[in-house]
Amino acid sequence: MGELVVDKHVKYILSVEKRKDSFESVVLEHLRMNGVYWGLTTLDLLGKLDALDSNEVIQWIMKCQHESGGFAGNIGHDPHLLYTLSAVQVLALFDKLNVLDADRVANYISGLQNVDGSFSGDEWGEVDTRFSYLAICCLSILHRLDKMNVEKAVNYIVSCKNVDGGFGCTPGGESHAGQIFCCVGALAITGSLHHVDKDLLGWWLCERQVKSGGLNGRPEKLPDVCYSWWVLSSLIMIDRVHWINKDKLVKFILNCQDTENGGISDRPEDAVDVFHTYFGVAGLSLLEYPGLKAIDPAHALPVDVVNRIFFQK
> For residues 188-247, which are near another protein according to CB under 8 A?
188-194, 200, 202-204, 206-207, 209, 213, 218-221, 224, 236-245
Contact 217, 227 (CB under 8 A): yes
Residues 272-291 that bind another protein (CB under 8 A): 272-273, 276, 285-288
Contact 115, 125 (CB under 8 A): no
Taking CB under 8 A as the criterion, the residue among 92, 142, 148, 298 binding another protein is 298
Residues 4-33 that bind another protein (CB under 8 A): 21-27, 29-31
CB of 152 to another protein, least distance (A): 14
Instruction: Give the nearer residue to another protein in terms of CB position, either 2 or 125.
Output: 125
CB of 72 to another protein, least distance (A): 8
Distance CA 164, CA 166 (A): 6
Stretch that binds another protein, among 6-14, 101-109, 111-119, 268-276 (CB under 8 A): 268-276
Angle subtended at Cα 237 by Cα 232 and Cα 238, rounded to the nearest 5 degrees = 100
Q: Does 311 bind another protein (CB under 8 A)?
A: yes
Residues 50-109 that bind another protein (CB under 8 A): 72-73, 76-78, 80
Output Rg (C-alpha) for the chain, integer angstroms. Answer: 18
Taking CB under 8 A as the criterion, the residue among 94, 164, 251, 259 binding another protein is 164
Instruction: Give the nearer residue to another protein in terms of CB position, either 1 or 55.
Output: 1
Instruction: Give the nearer residue to another protein in terms of CB position, either 84 or 285.
Output: 285
DSSP string, 87-133: HHHHHHHTT-GGGS-HHHHHHHHHTTB-TTS-BBSSTT--B-HHHHH
Instruction: Give the nearer residue to another protein in terms of CB position, either 53 or 312.
Output: 312
Distance CA 6, CA 144 (A): 36
DSSP code of 158? H
Stretch that binds another protein, among 34-42, 43-51, 87-95, 299-307 (CB under 8 A): 299-307
Contact 73, 67 (CB under 8 A): no
Looking at residue 218, its amino acid is R
Name residue 209's beta-bridge partners.
215
Q: How many residues bind another protein (CB under 8 A)?
A: 92
